[in-house]
């Protein structure tokens, strides 16, 4: 029997010994790089919103269910690759799992509710500007790698929407994402709750 996209993701997370939240209404936040919203793999071309942001929860039968899935990017586009905010190069988050985000505000000109980085994450520094992680140095720290919206930029142009953040393409999709995140009972019990997020390469699924 074929496995669902959610089942494939959870199976991969189990293989990696990642934390999986299985409690009632608890949310698992996952980004799959180089994947479409139907769960198929794509060519992950540069400067495209061709990754997905996903929330998975477990139903009453303890089966993983996708509560929401949205077009996203886990990588910066051409603009910040060529004009990096850090002299070491643009940040590309390293695949893995991090407990590193709280609900807060992102941005100055257009502040909006988002998940803001409060814990350490690892990034690859694209010093040679080839828009790939291969051979790039790893940098670990607090870099403002937030989870925000992409102002509705077109699918084929990330433009200035990401300098290394985890970005949902549309405003409405991001608002839906945040409504679901803040419905997590752990956040309701403690608004300082720190969320875990997993970033997976699509070709591993």
Indicate the domain borders of the chain.
5-204
Let me know how long the chain is: 205
Give dist(CA 16, CA 12) in Å, integer.
6
Q: Are strands 137-141 and 28-33 parallel, antiparallel or unpaired?
A: unpaired
Give dist(CA 200, CA 95) in Å, integer.
6
pTM for the structure as a whole = 0.96
What are the residues whose beta carbons fall under 8 Å from the beta carbon of 185, sequence distance 6 or more? 23, 24, 25, 26
Give dist(CA 32, CA 182) in Å, integer.
21
Q: Would you give the distance in Å from CA 137 to the centre of its chain?
A: 21
Only one residue has tokens 């019990």, namely 189
Give dist(CA 136, CA 109) in Å, integer.
32
How high is the pLDDT of residue 1? 54
**Stretches in the chain below the pLDDT threshold 50:** none
How high is the pLDDT of residue 2? 75
Only one residue has tokens 């608004």, namely 191
How high is the pLDDT of residue 175? 98
Give dist(CA 189, CA 15) in Å, integer.
30
């Amino acid at each position: 029997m074929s496995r669902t996209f959610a089942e494939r993701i959870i199976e991969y997370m189990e293989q990696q010994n990642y934390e999986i939240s299985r409690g009632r209404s608890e949310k698992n936040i996952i980004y799959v790089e180089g994947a479409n919203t139907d769960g198929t793999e794509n060519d992950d071309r540069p400067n495209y919103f061709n990754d997905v942001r996903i929330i998975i929860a477990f139903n009453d039968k303890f089966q993983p269910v996708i509560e929401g899935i949205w077009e996203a990017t886990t990588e910066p586009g051409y603009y910040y690759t060529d004009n990096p905010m850090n002299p070491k190069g643009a940040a590309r988050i390293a695949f893995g799992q991090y407990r590193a985000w709280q609900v807060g505000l992102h941005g100055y000109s257009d502040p909006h509710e988002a998940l803001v980085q409060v814990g350490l994450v690892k990034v690859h520094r694209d010093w040679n500007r080839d828009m790939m992680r291969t051979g790039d140095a790893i940098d670990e720290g607090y870099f403002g790698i937030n989870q925000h919206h992409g102002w509705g930029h077109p699918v084929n142009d990330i433009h200035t929407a990401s300098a290394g953040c985890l970005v949902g393409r549309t405003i409405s999709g991001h608002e839906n994402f945040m409504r679901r995140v803040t419905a997590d009972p752990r956040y309701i019990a403690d608004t300082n709750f720190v969320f875990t997020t997993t970033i997976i390469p699509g070709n591993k699924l």
